[in-house]
Amino acid sequence: MPQAQVNTFGPVDYVVFAGTLVVSASIGIYQAFTGGRQRTTTEFLMANRQMGAIPAAMSLLASFMSAITLLGTPKEMYVYGTQYLWIAFGYLLVIPVAAHIFLPIFFRLKITSAYEYLEMRFNKAVRVAGSLTFSLQMILYMAIVLYAPSLALEQVTGLNRWIAVCSVGVVCVFYTSIGGMKAVMWTDTFQVFMMVAGMLAVVIQGSLELGGFRNAWEINIKGGRINFLDFNPDPRERHTVWTCVFGGFFTWLSVYGVNQAQVQRALTVVDLKRAQIAMWINAPGLIAILIISAMSGILIYAHYFDCDPMTNKDITNQDQLLPLFVMDKLAFVPGLPGLFTACLFSGALSTLSSGLNSLATVWTRDLFQEFCCKEMPDSRATFTSKIMSVVFGCIVIGLTFVASQLGGVLQAALALFGMIGGPLLGVFTLGVLFPWANWKGAIAGLVTSLLFTFWIGIGAQIYKPAVWKAPGAITGLVTSLLLTFWIGIGAQIYKPAVWKAPVSILGCNAVNETVSNVTTAVMINVTPMPTAAPYDPPLNGLYNLSYLWYSGFGVLVVVVVGMVVSAITGFTDTTMLDYRLICPIFDVMFCCFPKSFRQALRCGVDHDTTKFHYCCVCKDVDKEDISAEAITAAELGETKDEGFDNKAMKTKELEANQTNGIMKNENDLDLKKETQI
pLDDT, tens digit, for every residue of 16-68?
Answer: 888 888 888 888 888 877 766 677 888 888 888 888 899 999 989 888 777 77
Asked whether the predicted pLDDT for residue 481 surpasses 70, the reply is: no
- Give dist(CA 445, CA 405) in Å, integer: 30
Give tens-digit pLDDT for 307-320: 888 888 888 778 78
Mean pLDDT, rounded, for 623-642: 36
Tell which residue, 102, 80, 152, has the closest CA to residue 253. 102
Contact between 427 and 408 under an 8 Å Cβ cutoff? The reply is no
- Give the pLDDT of residue 144: 80
Tell me which of 105-109, 198-202, 479-483, 585-589 is least confident: 479-483
Asked whether the predicted pLDDT for residue 521 surpasses 70, the reply is: no
> Distance from CA of residue 354 to its chain's centroid?
11
The share of the chain scoring above pLDDT 90, in percent, equals 22
- DSSP run (H or E) holding 334: none
Asked whether the predicted pLDDT for residue 191 surpasses 80, the reply is: yes
Q: Amino acid letter at 540? A: N
Q: How confident is the model at residue 405 (pLDDT cuts 50, 70, 90)?
A: low
- Give dist(CA 28, CA 352) in Å, integer: 14
- Give the pLDDT of residue 516: 43
- Give the pLDDT of residue 156: 63
Residue 269, phi then psi, degrees to nearest 5: -75, 155
Mean pLDDT, rounded, for 381-388: 88
Mean pLDDT, rounded, for 406-425: 72
Tell which residue, 160, 159, 165, has the closest CA to residue 146. 165
- Give dist(CA 371, CA 380) in Å, integer: 15
Tell which residue, 444, 553, 155, has the closest CA to residue 316. 155
Average pLDDT over all residues of the chain: 76
Tell me which of 432-446, 479-493, 550-564, 584-598 is least confident: 479-493
Tell me which of 76-90, 222-236, 405-419 is least confident: 405-419
Q: Amino acid letter at 185? A: M
Q: Amino acid letter at 27? A: I
The share of the chain scoring above pLDDT 70, in percent, equals 71
Region 12-404: CATH code: 1.20.1730.10
Count of residues making up the chain: 677
Determine the number of helices (DSSP H) and then strands (DSSP E) in the chain.
29, 0
Of residues 602 and 345, which shows the higher confidence score? 345
- DSSP run (H or E) holding 7: none
The torsion region of residue 604 among left (phi > 0), alpha (psi -120 to 50) and beta comes to: left
- Give the pLDDT of residue 150: 79
Q: How confident is the model at residue 406 (pLDDT cuts 50, 70, 90)?
A: low
Task: Note the pTM of the prediction, 2 decimals.
Answer: 0.77
Residue 35, phi then psi, degrees to nearest 5: 60, -130
Tell which residue, 221, 212, 186, 218, has the closest CA to residue 56. 186
DSSP 8-state secondary structure symbol assigned to residue 269 = B
Asked whether the predicted pLDDT for residue 479 surpasses 50, the reply is: no
Of residues 270 and 599, which shows the higher confidence score? 270
Mean pLDDT, rounded, for 621-644: 37
Core vs surface per residue 532-570: b (16+ CB within 10 A) or e: eeeeeeebeebbbbbbbbbbbbbbbbbbbbbbebbeeee
Most confidently modeled range among 454-468, 531-545, 628-642: 531-545
**Could you give the C-alpha distances from 68 to 75, 180, 281, 453, 599, in angstroms and in order?**
10, 24, 21, 22, 46
- Give the pLDDT of residue 31: 80
- Give the pLDDT of residue 307: 84
Give tens-digit pLDDT for 138-168: 888 888 888 877 776 776 667 677 777 887 8
Asked whether the predicted pLDDT for residue 293 surpasses 80, the reply is: yes
- Give the pLDDT of residue 428: 94
**DSSP states along 162-207:** HHHHHHHHHHHHHHHHHHHHHHHHHHHHHHHHHHHHHHHHHHHHHH
Q: How confident is the model at residue 624 (pLDDT cuts 50, 70, 90)?
A: very low
Asked whether the predicted pLDDT for residue 674 surpasses 60, the reply is: no
Domain boundaries along the sequence of the chain:
12-404
- Give dist(CA 110, CA 641) in Å, integer: 8
- Give dist(CA 390, CA 177) in Å, integer: 7
- Give the pLDDT of residue 143: 84
Strand partners, 490: none
404's CB contacts (< 8 A; 6+ apart) are 147, 161
**Could you give the C-alpha distances from 637 to 489, 622, 646, 647, in angstroms and in order?**
56, 22, 12, 10
Core vs surface per residue 18-48: b (16+ CB within 10 A) or e: eebbeebbebbeebbeeeeebebbbbbbbbb
Most confidently modeled range among 2-11, 173-182, 262-271, 487-496: 262-271
Give tens-digit pLDDT for 343-378: 888 888 888 888 888 999 899 888 888 877 777 788
636's CB contacts (< 8 A; 6+ apart) are 647, 650, 651, 654
Give the ranges where 47-160 is alpha helix by DSSP (H).
53-64, 67-79, 87-97, 103-109, 116-121, 124-157
- Give dist(CA 203, CA 282) in Å, integer: 22
- Give dist(CA 86, CA 230) in Å, integer: 10
Q: Quote the Cα angle for 576-582-583, to 5°.
A: 145
- Give dist(CA 608, CA 631) in Å, integer: 14
Mean pLDDT, rounded, for 656-673: 52
- Give the pLDDT of residue 541: 63
Contact between 657 and 631 under an 8 Å Cβ cutoff? The reply is no
Tell which residue, 393, 338, 443, has the closest CA to residue 11. 338
Contact between 383 and 37 under an 8 Å Cβ cutoff? The reply is no
